[in-house]
Structure 1
Amino acid sequence: MSLKRNVLVLNQDYSPLTVCSVERAFLLVFLNKAEMISPVPNVYLHTVDTSYQAPSVIKVSRYISVPYKGVILSRQNVFRRDNHECQYCGTNRDLTLDHLVPRSKGGTSSWKNLVTACKHCNAKKGDYAPAEVGMKLRKEPFKPSYIMFLKTSNGSVFDEWRPFLQLKSEAL
């Protein structure tokens, strides 16, 4: 097994908290700071004289209060939401951010007003709304959920994670 695989970490109430490395998860379980909820099927970590099941989902032993569980608006998070593709032409080169309603016309820096755009499309759009220059978005911008970012930080959702993420399998 590749130790690069991530482990889903649940809070004491079984709500998703974060993801961590297999090494970190194993250490938390070994030190009784977490319990293994679901192992990776047929995968073991070996020491000189013992084998341990590799964790896929763990639950921390003490509740961790998380005051803000949203996704912070940042350049990299907008790129992640948009799959690192220009929302006008689909390229993944020379990317920048574009305000749909330009700041000079009262547009704000918000999840629904920012999209990933290549430099060419951003220059073509200029200081106008996309419709004013005949440009169409590939998809409408949205505020991503925390669970969506747990999924994208891993690249995929493992079967063992699905019951805890409360998402339909088609959405993953």
Structure 2
Amino acid sequence: MGVIVLNADYTYLHTISWRRAVNLMIKGKVEVVKYSDKIIQGFYRSYALPHIVRLIKFVRQVYKNKIPLHRKNIFIRDGFTCQYCGQSCRTHPTLDHIIPKSRGGPISWTNSVTACMACNQKKGSRTPREANMVLSRQPFRPTINEFTQLKMKGLGLERLLSDLIQRM
């Protein structure tokens, strides 16, 4: 089970193991924002595991200037949604190069999109125009703030955090 780590300002940082989260709690480096419904049994008592923790001290973002180009980051940018048919492909997303690599297309944020397996196979080594397919939106390089918001949205944290803030 992964535990979501928020920065001191409630922005998403990353996900860690529950063991690491408990270790940070013991050291006083994080506070629990929300507990999960999972419980571990100790020698003398049971403990609820954290679901979301927040760092006590603010840490600078890992990526100062740009988000690294990785498959998973492209899937996050596109919301694990096929950019051709709009179908959710959270379980088996594929990466499609708009201008195929076989035709000299660059490996870049603006040439890479998430596609479901069916659309990726249908398009093959053709451009979208040649395959008579249309992109739902133009790919872009996200800023750090945009990427953080996309990750929070993908994890369902936006609504959860707004609910928590309203209760305070």
From 104, 114, 128, the counterpart of 2:112: 114
2:5·2:55 contact (CA, 8 Å) conserved in 1? yes
TM superposition shift of 1:79 = 4.4
Is 2:47 aligned against 1:52?
yes
TM superposition shift of 1:114 = 2.1
Q: Equivalents in 1 of 2:72, 2:108: separation in Å?
A: 14
From 10, 15, 18, the counterpart of 1:19: 15
TM superposition shift of 1:17 = 1.9
Q: What aligned pairs does 1:89-104 form with structure 2 within 5 A after superposition?
A: 95-100=94-99
Is 2:28 aligned against 1:32?
yes
Note the alpha carbon deviations across 1:63-82, whole angstroms, 9 max, x for none: 32225265322234334545
2:99·2:126 contact (CA, 8 Å) conserved in 1? no
Structure 1 vs Structure 2: percent identity of aligned residues? 26
Note the alpha carbon deviations across 1:79-107, whole angstroms, 9 max, x for none: 454537473697x78955313498978x6
TM-score by length of 2: 0.62
Whose radius of gyration is greater, 1 or 2? Answer: 1
Number of residues of Structure 1 aligned to a counterpart in Structure 2: 153
1:44·1:54 contact (CA, 8 Å) conserved in 2? yes
Q: Equivalents in 2 of 1:120, 1:37: separation in Å?
A: 45
Note the alpha carbon deviations across 1:12-42, whole angstroms, 9 max, x for none: 33332222222221221122221222223x5
The residue that corresponds to 1:169 in the other structure is none
Which letter maps to 1:48? F
Which letter maps to 1:137? L
**Structure 2: where are the runs of 5+ without partners?**
none
Cα 1:24–1:163, aligned 2, differ >3 Å: closer, same or farther?
farther
TM superposition shift of 1:143 = 3.9
TM-score by length of 1: 0.61
The residue that corresponds to 1:136 in the other structure is 134
1:99·1:108 contact (CA, 8 Å) conserved in 2? no
2:93·2:114 contact (CA, 8 Å) conserved in 1? no
The residue that corresponds to 1:170 in the other structure is none
Which letter maps to 1:39? Y
Which letter maps to 1:56? H
1:34·1:58 contact (CA, 8 Å) conserved in 2? yes
Q: Equivalents in 1 of 2:59, 2:73: separation in Å?
A: 24
1:44·1:53 contact (CA, 8 Å) conserved in 2? yes
**Structure 1: where are the runs of 5+ without partners?**
167-172
Taking only aligned residues, the RMSD between alpha carbons, in angstroms, comes to: 4.1
